[in-house]
A = this chain, B = another copy of it.
Amino acid sequence: MSSRYLALANRVITYSVKRAKEKASPNHLPGWILNHSQFPRAMASISRREGCLLTLANLNPNVKVMEFAVCGPLQIRASAIEKELEQGAKKPFNEVIKANIGDCHAMGQTPITFIRQVLALVSYPELMDDPKFPDDVKERAKLLLAGCRGGSAGSYTDSPGIEIIRRHVAEYIEKRDGYPSDWQDIILCAGASDGIKAVLKLLICEICGLKPAIMVPIPQYPLYSATIAEFDMQQVGYYLDESKGWGLTIEELKRAINDTQGKCKPRALVVINPGNPTGQVLTKQNIQEIIKFANEEGLILLADEVYQHNVYDKNSEFHSFKKVLMEMGPPYSQTELASFMSCSKGYMGECGLRGGYAEVINLQSDVKAMYLKSISAMLCPTVLGQMTMDCVVKPPEPGQPSYDLFIKEKNAVLKSLAERAEMVAKTFNSICGMSCNAVQGAMYAFPQIYLPPKAIEIAKQQKLAPDAYYAFQLLENSGICIVPGSGFGQKEGTYHFRTTILPQPEKLKVMLEKFKIFHQEFLKKHQ
């Protein structure tokens, strides 16, 4: 992994230095390299002081191998290009389209008014009597502040979050699933990522001399591979079946776990539903099979359900793992399960506010105590993020003054996302040398691309994964920034990329048109 990573970085520095020589002021090279991440080569190219105490040789080895492709060298290069354009550089395009990350507002989605009005009032309660704010917004703000010590959002909360918000989350889950949810099983966190890391951390424990292992889908969201690497655990990948719409087959799960015999100890099974980067929505039957498999194999279930509001396919429906295992009854209903949710996705897309929750059920009580203890040193997740989550799980109800606007805004976002999901898959399938499964849910398409032998050859020469070479070519020639499939994992010999469906419709049309042209030229160029 790491060698590919360095190769990617290497590839960028060739551009970087070239551009720097052309344009950059003396401060420019550090300027647009150092303010971004994951960039050893580039960093190394900046003057280095000898005799440092902390060096690559004595740095945490897990940090060295850990990767997070969503913010890798391609994105660093994309930001560099943006700065070059600002400075008047001539390019075959006039803007960079960042389709690499599920960053809704960055791509022009507008915030939900109800959420932002509540945030304004809890931040500055002097506005509480302002007629600009509907009564239900004021009531919510008062209720949330009443849950804060000293009535201020500036106070620490209990480490698992404010009680009233945890209760609202539990009510949301009960309403969603039709099964009880205990508010004390709800742990608020700073975005789902924070909750996922906190749960994975509990599983770091060698068992009978074997490394603890986590089963993750391939392709997967790289937070998992990054965290597994950081925690020095073993990643066990199971392949989603592209030919079956990225479906999850039990045969493959069994194949994957059987291959671990004596090598490591699988402790948990990660399922991302709706899928990231694949966009599939699991059927209830599929989820039942997965739950049975987890029970047979003694695996804790980690259900990444942050896209539960993002289902576009008319024949698909979101089924939570909690609901399905409750329906199945004992022993399945006793499965140790953690389900993760976020305020960053859905129709609200509040990525920057860092709100999320984990519902953790069937944990042994003393284990749960240790879990709560383990998060206590960080004091609490951001209060305003917690309050954002509250608005998501308890939106305005019919009859309340904010309801009509809320529903109008929510439906507009989801309707537009559904149209874009269809447009993206359709366009990619119309491009010779590309095939794309339907985007049933989430915010991404993960098309397979045909890469000619000549392109693969050049990539090898440049020490790049072939799809990374493709992605760099796309970026440099069209300004479109995507993430190569190798950042998520893919079947050997196949090549993909992940693009979000988040650019606003007009921009998305332009992007797809550019994509078409680029791909045809790329194939021609590499015949």
- Name A's B-contacting residues (CB within 8 A): 30-31, 34-40, 42-49, 51-56, 58-64, 66-68, 71, 98, 101, 103-111, 116-117, 119-121, 123-124, 126-127, 130, 132, 148-150, 152-160, 163, 166, 183-184, 190-191, 193-194, 197, 201-205, 207, 222-223, 226-227, 230, 267, 298-300, 334, 336, 348-354, 362-385
Contacts and interface: CB of A to CB of B under 8 A. Distances in A.
Contacts of A59: 202, 205, 367, 370
5 smallest beta-carbon distances between A and B, as pairs: A106-B149, A352-B383, A105-B152, A43-B369, A120-B124
Most B CB contacts (10 A, CB to CB) among A54, A126, A205 go to A54
A352 B55 contact: no
A207 B46 CA distance: 27
15 contacts: A35-B160, A37-B375, A53-B300, A56-B364, A59-B367, A60-B203, A60-B205, A101-B156, A103-B156, A104-B154, A106-B155, A116-B124, A119-B119, A194-B378, A230-B377
A157 B103 CA distance: 10
A352 B158 contact: no
Given A203-B60, A384-B353, A377 B155 contact: no
A45 B368 CA distance: 12
Contacts of A66: 373-374, 377
A106 B376 CA distance: 17
A110 to B, nearest CB: 8
B163 A367 contact: no
Contacts of A104: 154-155
A334 B230 contact: no
Contacts of A207: 58
A154 B382 contact: no
A57 to B, nearest CB: 9
Given A44-B365, A106-B156, A353-B382, A377 B68 contact: yes
B373 A267 contact: no
B53 A163 contact: no
Query: What is the total number of copies of this protein in its complex?
Result: 2
Contacts of A376: 37-38, 68, 71
A334 B223 CA distance: 35
Contacts of A53: 267, 298-300, 336
A190 B365 CA distance: 29
A362 B52 contact: yes
Nearest to A71: B376
B369 A381 contact: no
Given A49-B362, A154-B352, 13 more contacts: A35-B184, A38-B369, A43-B369, A54-B300, A54-B367, A105-B149, A111-B152, A119-B384, A223-B377, A227-B377, A351-B379, A352-B382, A354-B382
A291 to B, nearest CB: 14
A184 B32 CA distance: 10
A63 B201 contact: yes
B377 A152 contact: no
Contacts of A109: 150
A465 to B, nearest CB: 18
Nearest to A384: B384
Most B CB contacts (10 A, CB to CB) among A31, A202, A222, A382 go to A382
Contacts of A354: 190, 380-383
A223 B376 CA distance: 9
A309 to B, nearest CB: 15
A432 to B, nearest CB: 34
Contacts of A300: 53-54
A117 B121 CA distance: 10
A367 B52 contact: yes
A197 B351 CA distance: 22
A334 B59 CA distance: 19
A179 B349 CA distance: 41
Most B CB contacts (10 A, CB to CB) among A152, A362, A383 go to A152
A373 B38 contact: yes
A86 to B, nearest CB: 13
B382 A163 contact: no
Given A37-B375, A154-B111, A193-B377, A60 B204 contact: yes
A159 B120 contact: no
A39 B382 CA distance: 23
Contacts of A383: 352-354
A365 B126 CA distance: 47
Most B CB contacts (10 A, CB to CB) among A36, A37, A154, A267 go to A154
